[in-house]
Structure 1
Amino acid sequence: MKTLVIIAHPNITTSVMNKRWLEELKKYPDKYTIHELYKVYPNGAIDVEKEQKMVESHGQLIFQFPIHWFNCPPLLKKWLDDVLTYGWAYGSNGGDKLKNRKIALGVTAGIKKEDYTINGIYTYTLEQILVPFKTTFLYCSADYRSHFACYGKENAPGGNEEEENDFSTSEMEKSTQDYLNFIESM
């Protein structure tokens, strides 16, 4: 079965790595179904039944998003709240649609990797920040496969955002290939 890649980026056109990952994934329509939440639901009104059927028709799930205030973008949080319902995703009344389904995260962090350490600026690792996702998927009896991350550079206040997030072509291509390898290894 194909992998469903749920992309939740509020402005994918201005993205660097999420956009590059998306471009690469689109080259393999036989392997990946790309589902861009912000494109499909610009008004935020999620069709729960449609989303649940889409999840059910795929073998594994990847949630791809930028870290947004040490969490996911708001539409992905809404998707999780709306779609992962009692009796479907969890619960004693047939809530087994995620049971043993492989699920992983593909995240971009606009912060240097060393800042996501106990001694870094934020005093928490990315693994610690992503614990709510792991806990959610384990609660739904899914086979949580962790995350793949691409770290960037934090913008200095008043700094040039475009300049700060300028990845070299080789860095972008390595991250893209590593991301695809991560998904394939699930």
Structure 2
Amino acid sequence: MKTLVLTAHPDLSSSSSNLRWYEALSNTAEVTTRDLMAVGGSEMRFDPAGEQALLIDTDRIIMQFPFYWYSSPPW
């Protein structure tokens, strides 16, 4: 089963818990991780066709973001 993990963190490199989680999943077979800030920049500009292809080619999608937001990312 293919899993796609979409991570949205304003500064992933300085986060102790989110970074560990992201790195552990990045080294797991059948898991693709995407740091949305690294891919889309602070403006969150993406290639829609490319992102849609990733979503279609996966069985499970996990969204990872800071707990202190108490909600999903606004973008």
TM > 0.5 = yes
Unaligned 5+ runs, structure 2 = none
Q: Does residue 72 of structure 1 match 2:64?
A: no
* Paired residues for 1:113-124 under 5 Å: none
CA apart distance, 1:58: 0.5
Q: Which has the higher contact order (CA 8 A, sep 6+)?
A: 2
* Paired residues for 1:81-92 under 5 Å: none
Structure 2 match to 1:33: 32
Question: Given the two structures, how large is their TM-score scaled by the length of structure 2?
Answer: 0.85
Structure 2 match to 1:24: 24
The 4+ residue runs of structure 1 with deviation greater than 3 A are: none
Q: Which amino acid aligns with 1:62?
A: I
* Paired residues for 1:1-186 under 5 Å: 1-28=1-28, 30-42=29-41, 43-73=43-73, 77-78=74-75
In 2: Cα distance, 1:47 partner to 1:68 partner: 28
In 1: Cα distance, 2:26 partner to 2:70 partner: 27
Q: State how many pairs are aligned.
A: 74
Q: Which amino acid aligns with 1:10?
A: P
In 2: Cα distance, 1:16 partner to 1:4 partner: 21
In 2: Cα distance, 1:26 partner to 1:46 partner: 21
Is the alpha carbon distance of 1:69 and 1:25 closer, same or farther for their aligned partners in structure 2, counting shifts above 3 Å?
A: closer
CA apart distance, 1:68: 4.6
Greater radius of gyration (CA):
1
Q: Which amino acid aligns with 1:40?
A: V
How much is the aligned-residue C-alpha RMSD, in angstroms? 1.5
Q: Which amino acid aligns with 2:72?
A: C
Q: Which amino acid aligns with 2:11?
A: N
Q: Give aligned-pair identity as a percent.
A: 35
Question: Given the two structures, how large is their TM-score scaled by the length of structure 1?
Answer: 0.37
Residue 46 of structure 1: SS of its match in structure 2?
A: coil
In 2: Cα distance, 1:31 partner to 1:45 partner: 26
Q: Which amino acid aligns with 1:45?
A: R
Structure 2 match to 1:160: none
